[in-house]
Amino acid sequence: MKRLFLCAAILFMLVPLVSASDISTEHMSISLQPDGTANVTVERNYDTISASQISFLMPARYSPSGMTAYDDEGELDCTLRTFDFGEEIVCEPRQYEDYTVTIRFFGEFASQNQQDGYTFSYVKQVLTPTDRTSLTVTLPEGFGLVSGDTPYVPDDAEVGSEGRRIFLHWDYDGLSTGESIQYSIAYEDLQVFDRIPAWALAGLIIALVLSSSAAALYVRGRNRNEETIASMFPVLKDDEQLVIRYIIDQGGEVEQRDIVENVSYSKAKVSKLLSDLEDRNMVEKEKQGRVNIVKIARDIGDINTTLPAEH
């Protein structure tokens, strides 16, 4: 126990490396494999970096390995540090404003608790103030949520599917140093039903999702998709309206950097606005080489998109 407290103390001593560089957004994506291991991607955006280095630390209980970091220009010059309590990657950024870095590694986040049952577990420890953090966990193909009570914590996850894989997504704003979020998912292997026709298996997966209180989320998402840009426009904030107007005025498709140049917002703010609009299925982003293309993602409807004269 004393050793555990000592490790925790050392971990928080590392915070000053990045404490002067608050994180604007952090999105963590965990793709689970059938054996409980996972491919992990963490994308961080910094408005301003005041320290000479940036770092990311993953506790030892998740058995992190193969940790690397990248930005738009390629792999970063980084140093790996291994401690009893975890692995840390420390990198020198190539720029110090509106900077995005992507960290990739392998880890172990799930354990088998019965013949076909598994438990995913992850505790997010906030070491650096973060404006917005999100987590997406994708189950292995052929796996589904267990039936019964809500099989995941926190219970406000968005549940959906990508092809034949179920995912859960959480999104939170305004996290301070010292806060933590505990995530867990109970899921099971559905391969025991291999001899059931594909249409029946699909029905079982849908039933599992519905039984885990995803029905309301599904209906709400379907209704959102039926709405037009015009019907959603009045509830948008002024800065979101301005971005939508500009994209539509350019024919519904534009490079992200053109938005920055023409709406007088910083790259970081435009990136955050587009992420919010993308979460609501109003726009979608497509990477073409080193350029982000932003497109309107739903029917526009009847809307006046003329920009104000000052823009």
Q: Kindly state whether residues 187 and 258 are assigned to the same domain.
A: no
For residue 284, the domain's CATH number is: 1.10.10.10
Q: Kindly state whether residues 148 and 15 are assigned to the same domain.
A: yes
CA 236 – CA 246 distance, rounded (Å): 14
Q: Kindly state whether residues 14 and 149 are assigned to the same domain.
A: yes
Q: Kindly state whether residues 209 and 252 are assigned to the same domain.
A: no
What does residue 27 show for φ and ψ, rounded to 5 degrees?
A: -120, 125
Strands lying side by side in the sheet with 65-71: 74-75, 65-71, 97-108, 37-48, 23-32, 130-138, 165-175, 158-162
Final residue of a structural domain among 196, 225, 254: 225
Q: Kindly state whether residues 123 and 169 are assigned to the same domain.
A: yes
Q: Kindly state whether residues 108 and 183 are assigned to the same domain.
A: yes
Query: Going by DSSP bridges, is the β-strand pair 65-71/117-125 parallel, antiparallel, or unpaired?
Result: unpaired
Domain annotation covers residue 308: no
Final residue of a structural domain among 225, 251, 284: 225
Location of structure tokens 């301005």: 242
CA 188 – CA 145 distance, rounded (Å): 6
For residue 141, the domain's CATH number is: 2.60.40.1730
Domain annotation covers residue 310: no
User: pLDDT per residue over 195-228, tens digit each?
Assistant: 456 666 577 778 777 766 554 555 455 555 568 8
Q: What DSSP designation does 310 have?
A: T
Q: Kindly state whether residues 175 and 292 are assigned to the same domain.
A: no
Confidence of residue 117 (pLDDT cuts 50, 70, 90): confident
Q: Kindly state whether residues 142 and 38 are assigned to the same domain.
A: yes
Domain annotation covers residue 38: yes
Q: Kindly state whether residues 255 and 154 are assigned to the same domain.
A: no
User: What's the domain range around 240?
Assistant: 229-296
Q: How many domains does the chain have?
A: 2
Lowest mean pLDDT among 65-74, 222-231, 267-276: 222-231
Q: Kindly state whether residues 104 and 195 are assigned to the same domain.
A: yes
Q: Provide the pLDDT for residue 104.
A: 94
Q: Provide the pLDDT for residue 200.
A: 64
Domain annotation covers residue 47: yes
Q: Kindly state whether residues 151 and 245 are assigned to the same domain.
A: no
Would the pLDDT of 60 be above 60? yes
Going from the C-alpha of 285 to that of each of 30, 61, 226, 296, the distances in angstroms are 21, 35, 20, 9
